[in-house]
Each structure stands twice: as C-alpha cells, then as structure tokens.
C-alpha cells in the first residue's frame, strides 16, 4: 500500500510547535499573573513572562490542532475506519492511560509538598493522594484526549454524504476570495472566543474526571482542526500557486502578527485587573441557573439584571477575545508561510526534532517542573533560570526520546 505523502515543512513545523511548548512551559513558573495557574510558581515572577505566555499560548494549540486535522481524512481513506481507530488508540489512548499514573503525579507532587504537606513522600502521595482521586487529573495529556475527540467528530462528519466535499469547497472559496476569507475567519474566531469566554471564563476548564478541555478555547481549537481538514481535502497542500500567494505575503503576515501581538498582549495586561478577564457575567448567569434553573425565567433575568451586566462587563472581554482571534490567525499564516519558504529542505536536526516531538511532549514537562522546583529560592535572574530550564528540559526530553525511547520497538510504535 502506498505510503501517505509527507510534507517536510509540516513535519518540521509540528516539531517546532512541540519545542516551543517546552520553552513556553519553562517560563510559566515566572509569569506574574499566569504563573498561579501553573503546576508550580516561583516566588520571583514578572509580567514580562506574562507577555511571552500570552503570545505563545495564542499559537501553540491552534497550530497543533490545524496540523492534526490535515491527516485525519487521508489516514482514514488509506487504512479504513477499523485500522484508523486502532492506530489512534495506540498513538493517543495508550499513552493517555499509561502516563496519567506514571507522568502526571511527577507534575503535581512538587506543588503539593510546597503548599500542603512538605513531609509527605512521593510514593505516599502517589498512592494516598493522587490515585485516591483527590488529585487525579490528566495534566497536559488533555491534548491527546482532544485530538482523539476531534478526530472522531470529523470521522462522524465524514459519514454525512458530501460533507467533506462541501466543506473543502468552502475552504477553496475562502482562499479564492482572500479578503472575504480572512474576514470570515477573524469574525468567526472572535465570535467563538467571545461566547466561550463569557460562558466558561478565560482560565477555567470544563469536563469531568480526567476528561476536560479549556473552556474558553476548545471551540477555537476545533475550528483550526476543521480548517486543517478542509485544506488537506481540498488539495491545497499540493497547490503551488496557493503557497506562492501565501509566501509572497509573508511580510504582511509577520507585520500583522507583530502589531496584533502588541495590541493583544498590551491590552490584556493593562486591563488584567480592570475587566479584561472579568467573570462577573459568567457568575451571574451561573447563579441564576443554579437558583432559578429555568430558561422560562431568562427574559425576566435579562431585563432586570442580565443586559445591564453584559453591557457593563462584556465589552472589555470582547475586545480582548477579538484581538486574540486576530493574533492567532496572523500567527498561523506567518508560520505556514515561513516554514514553507525557508524550512522546507531536509535537514538532520529538523528530522530528529520531527521524529522525537511526541516523546518530547510526553516527557519534557516533568523535567521542566522539577527544574523549576530546584531553582526556587536560588538567586539567579529570571531570564537565566528560564534559559537553563528550557535547554535542559527540551534538550533532555529530546535526547531521552531519540537515544532511548525510539530505540525500543514497542515504544517506537506508540511515539514514533
């Protein structure tokens, strides 16, 4: 059977995104505001790293899910549903199940001993706290759950007659009418992010048990996943004219990205304590449905309180989410154009990164968090700590994957 065609720049871009993820995680502990949501937070933090966090977090997952969406239908056509499903279970479900008890406790234990019980040993924590359900979670493994979930939704969509034909034709239409296409994706992104943020709040997660997604962003990720599926099905990956038009506009995409980054990051940080991340609307509606519990009363609630709350608190949230959507699109276009134009020839280092990136994803976070834990209280500049942790975390995970994990045949089937 003919092997599925590979695209060097896409493989290298995926490797870059996982590497960026490792570097991004290295700075989380030092972000003044967002560090509090990380597994561990250093006492010495700065809003400078909040800015990097906001920029990185805008692109990492949308780009990753876009790339994932590219290969679902081609792989489904090549293997058939049963083999495709079994391959997805091997690649996603097995690591998800195995890594929850083996990897995730390594991420949560340092914070536990810092904030709750400094005397508890690791194995006591593992058995009596983590596995007891008190701290059971999937941590970063939600990405694999999200990939599997989105893939199964797309497989279901594919059973609808002509669904993918119509969707790919629509993607072609967006490309052929670039101003309309650009505006459409921007408006849809802003709508998705705005509604999601008002409904679930910016930093919070929704789901149950170990199955959860980021409330404010999971629909945006699905949008980019579907855009990837449409690009692949429509044949745009092989359309050199499309890529020439995209790369010719690289200065525009890069300039737009920088302008949007300054606008989004600056606005988000300037108004972070003054409405940009307000939960007032979300809590008001949550309290209403908790007490009243009926849609029949919603008009009364809106007329007497709801509309006033929305008008008072929603605008600053919606400005932030709109700027976020703009930045995300410019980032995706910039990276696609840049990698197609400049990172599109075979190179041993990029090959290694592309082959090792899944193993890097699974192993880097434990290294990063324990390094952050070790550096707490050590008098070094924040930037130096981040550089050291980035190099050791990414480099260690990369070396571990390439030199050991990928040498084990059984593991290679899963993470190779």
Q: What is the mean pLDDT of residues 253-281?
A: 95
What total of structural domains would you count in the chain? Answer: 1
With respect to residue 273, please indicate whether it lies within any of the assigned structural domains: yes
Q: Name the token pair of 237.
A: 């990956």
Note the pLDDT of residue 3.
Answer: 47
Under DSSP, the state recorded for 4 is P
Q: Name the token pair of 98.
A: 């195995």
Rounded Cα–Cα distance for residues 402 and 416 (Å): 10
Q: What percent of the chain has pLDDT over 90?
A: 82
pTM equals 0.95
Q: What is the mean pLDDT of residues 69-92?
A: 95
Q: Identify the band that residue 137 occupies on the pLDDT scale cut at 50, 70 and 90.
A: confident
With respect to residue 158, please indicate whether it lies within any of the assigned structural domains: yes
With respect to residue 75, please indicate whether it lies within any of the assigned structural domains: yes
For residue 205, the SS3 value is strand
Rounded Cα–Cα distance for residues 62 and 71 (Å): 15
User: Mean pLDDT score of the chain, rounded to an integer?
Assistant: 93
Of residues 377 and 29, more confidence is placed in: 29
Under DSSP, the state recorded for 154 is H
Q: What pLDDT, in 10s, does the model give residues 384-396?
A: 999 999 999 999 9
Rounded Cα–Cα distance for residues 180 and 305 (Å): 37
**CA 199 centroid distance within chain:** 19
Of residues 223 and 297, more confidence is placed in: 223
Under DSSP, the state recorded for 208 is E
With respect to residue 405, please indicate whether it lies within any of the assigned structural domains: yes
With respect to residue 2, please indicate whether it lies within any of the assigned structural domains: no
Residue 71: exposed, middle, or buried by beta-carbon count in 10 A (0-12, 13-18, 19+)? Answer: middle
Of residues 3 and 39, more confidence is placed in: 39
Q: What pLDDT, in 10s, does the model give residues 28-50?
A: 999 999 988 899 999 999 999 99
With respect to residue 259, please indicate whether it lies within any of the assigned structural domains: yes
Q: What pLDDT, in 10s, does the model give residues 204-239?
A: 888 888 899 999 999 999 999 999 999 999 999 999
Residue 143's domain comprises 8-415
Asked if residue 1 has pLDDT above 60, the reply is: no
With respect to residue 1, please indicate whether it lies within any of the assigned structural domains: no
Asked if residue 115 has pLDDT above 50, the reply is: yes
Of residues 293 and 191, more confidence is placed in: 191
With respect to residue 3, please indicate whether it lies within any of the assigned structural domains: no
Q: Identify the band that residue 416 occupies on the pLDDT scale cut at 50, 70 and 90.
A: confident
């Amino acid at each position: 059977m003919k092997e599925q065609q590979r695209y060097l720049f896409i493989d290298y871009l995926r490797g870059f995104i996982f590497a960026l993820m490792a570097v991004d995680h290295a700075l989380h502990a030092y972000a003044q505001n967002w560090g509090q949501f990380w597994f561990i937070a250093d006492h010495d933090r700065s809003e400078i790293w909040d800015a990097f966090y906001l920029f990185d977090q805008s692109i990492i997952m949308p780009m990753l899910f876009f790339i994932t969406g590219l290969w679902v239908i081609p792989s489904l056509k090549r293997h058939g549903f049963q083999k495709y499903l079994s391959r997805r279970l091997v690649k996603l479900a097995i690591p998800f199940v195995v890594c929850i008890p083996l990897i995730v406790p390594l991420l949560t234990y340092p914070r536990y001993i810092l904030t709750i019980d400094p005397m508890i040993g690791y194995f006591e924590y593992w058995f009596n706290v983590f596995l007891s359900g008190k701290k059971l979670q999937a941590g970063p493994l939600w990405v694999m759950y999200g990939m599997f979930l989105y893939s199964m939704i797309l497989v279901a969509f594919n059973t609808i007659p002509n669904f993918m034909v119509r969707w790919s034709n629509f993607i072609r239409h967006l490309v052929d009418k670039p101003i309309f296409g650009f505006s459409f994706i921007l408006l849809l992104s802003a709508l998705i992010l705005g509604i999601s943020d008002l409904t679930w709040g910016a930093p919070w997660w929704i789901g149950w048990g170990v199955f959860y997604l980021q409330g404010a962003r999971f629909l945006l990720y699905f949008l980019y996943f579907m855009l990837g599926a449409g690009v692949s099905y429509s044949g745009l990956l092989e359309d050199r004219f499309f890529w020439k038009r995209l790369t010719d506009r690289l200065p525009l995409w890069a300039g737009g990205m920088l302008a949007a980054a300054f606008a989004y990051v600056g606005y988000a940080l300037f108004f972070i304590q003054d409405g940009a991340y307000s939960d007032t609307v979300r809590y008001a509606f949550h309290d209403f449905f908790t007490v009243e519990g009926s849609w029949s009363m919603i008009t009364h609630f809106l007329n007497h309180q709801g509309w006033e709350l929305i008008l008072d608190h929603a605008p600053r949230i919606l400005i932030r989410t709109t700027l976020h959507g703009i930045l995300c699109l410019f980032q995706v276009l910039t990276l696609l154009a840049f990698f197609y134009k400049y990172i599109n020839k075979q190179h041993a280092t990029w090959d290694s990164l592309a082959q090792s990136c899944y193993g890097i994803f699974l192993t880097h976070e434990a290294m990063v968090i324990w390094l952050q834990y070790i550096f707490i209280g050590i008098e070094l500049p924040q930037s130096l700590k981040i550089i050291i942790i980035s190099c050791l975390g990414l480099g260690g995970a990369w070396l571990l994957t390439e030199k050991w994990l990928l040498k084990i045949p059984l593991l290679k089937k899963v993470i190779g």
